[in-house]
Amino acid sequence: MYDYRSLLYSLDETIKLSDLKSDLFLADQDVSQVQQYLDQHHITAHIDGGPTYHYKTYHIVSKPYIYYTIGNADLLDRRIIAIVWPRKPSDYAARVLEDMIQELAKYDVVTISGMAEWVDEMVHRLSIQYGIPTIAVLGAWLGQVLRSVRRHLVSEIVDAWGCVYSEFRLKQSATHYTYPQRNRIVAGYADAVVLPEAALKSGSLITADYAHDMNKPLFVTPNSIFTATSQGSNELLQSGQAKAITDIVSRVESLWLMKNNRSWDNAVVWWWVDLTDLERLVYHAIADHNAEVDIAYLMSQTKLNVSELQTIVSMLEIYGIVRQAGVGKYAV
């Protein structure tokens, strides 16, 4: 059952999101054609506060009030790694990408990227090839892609139990502004962001900026200082905003668990995850208690304030070594 507001927003370009939030719109328009269109193409609309609006969406910078999906939107529940790279990648970056996807196939992960032609598209195609579910985030309305030659890739992604995602209304075409909007979605749902390569002033760096703003782990592959498409990623390393991927196998192991292996060995957690001193302090406060703990307990053990603890616990959750065990409760 669709929410009337999402159907009206999809149909009427004069309706603003602020109108929907304040109920300043006419509630007697016929939206049946929009619903038929969504049903015909198996598109689901998700609205803030609705039953299918994913909880991770609330943590995205400037979260979308409404978004649309085709395929398996439940993938948002899984561990997600974002992979973005330049429009004209080098052979080196292409090799890094394929080696990384092959290694990720051993792990219980989902990839997410922007489905840009010939670029992010390769992330999705390689993921399908190696059996990894993938999420494609569009810089335009789903209908535009479904009318284009790229509809075949949408079908391939969905048939491989993947998901195609857009936050744009029915007649919204791609513009210079919609692609950066898409990049924040890619970074927002990811548990970690990887840039095999990034040029200066590239869209990949926009995604990296969003990842940094949302406290997402960021990793890049170092490359020659003479390679233009790596100047941006090398600068991320130099500034300390990103960590280097020098060994794909060990770096993947530092973020993800092998398929069918969800237990942690606390003795080797530090080899897998590069924690700060404060992250280690909070982790031990949780792990050593051998039971669920709340923020009040962590404050008493660490002498940190609520804001500091919430930020650190969120990072430990992203690393996958701490989990929510109920409302306001945490455990390893």
**pLDDT (0 to 100) of residue 135:** 97
Q: Is 82 left (phi over 0), alpha (psi -120 to 50) or beta?
A: beta
The full DSSP string for 141-191 is -HHHHHTSTTHHHHHHHHHTT-EEEE-S-TTPPP-TTHHHHHHHHHHHH-S
Tell me: pLDDT of 108 over 70. Answer: yes
Residues 184-195 have pLDDT tens digits of 999 999 988 998
Please compute the mean of the pLDDT values over residues 121-140 and round it to a whole number. 94
The rounded distance, in Å, linking the Cα atoms of 208 and 201 is 11
* Higher local confidence (pLDDT), 66 or 311: 66
Q: Which of 3-7, 65-69, 97-101, 313-317 has the highest mean pLDDT?
A: 65-69
Query: Is the alpha carbon torsion for 321, 325, 330, 332 positive or negative?
Result: negative
**pLDDT (0 to 100) of residue 130:** 95
Q: Give me the amino acid identity at 226.
A: F
Domains in the chain: ranges and CATH: 4-64 (no CATH), 74-253 (3.40.50.450), 266-331 (1.10.10)
Please compute the mean of the pLDDT values over residues 84-109 and round it to a whole number. 86
Is residue 126 very low, low, confident or very high in pLDDT (cuts 50, 70, 90)?
very high
The CB density around residue 49, as the number of other CB atoms within 10 Å, is 8
**pLDDT (0 to 100) of residue 217:** 85
Q: What percent of the chain has pLDDT over 90?
A: 27
Instruction: Output the average pLDDT for the chain.
Output: 83
**pLDDT (0 to 100) of residue 321:** 75
- Where does residue 214 rank: exposed (0-12), middle (13-18), buried (19+ CB within 10 A)? middle
Residues 209-266 have pLDDT tens digits of 898 888 888 888 888 777 877 788 888 888 888 888 876 666 666 555 544 444 334 4
* Higher local confidence (pLDDT), 118 or 60: 60
Q: Give me the amino acid identity at 270.
A: W
Tell me: pLDDT of 313 over 60. Answer: yes
**pLDDT (0 to 100) of residue 249:** 62
* Higher local confidence (pLDDT), 12 or 63: 63
Tell me: pLDDT of 86 over 80. Answer: no
Q: Name the residue among 262, 269, 303, 271 with its Cα closest to residue 283.
A: 269
**pLDDT (0 to 100) of residue 260:** 44
Residues 30-75 have pLDDT tens digits of 888 889 989 999 999 999 988 899 988 988 989 999 999 999 999 9
The encoded tokens of residue 280 equal: 């280690």
Please compute the mean of the pLDDT values over residues 157-169 and round it to a whole number. 94
CA-to-CA dists, residue 282 to 79, 133, 268, angstroms? 22, 33, 17
Is residue 272 very low, low, confident or very high in pLDDT (cuts 50, 70, 90)?
very low
List Cβ neighbours of 130 (8 Å cut-off, separation of 6 or more).
101, 102, 104, 105
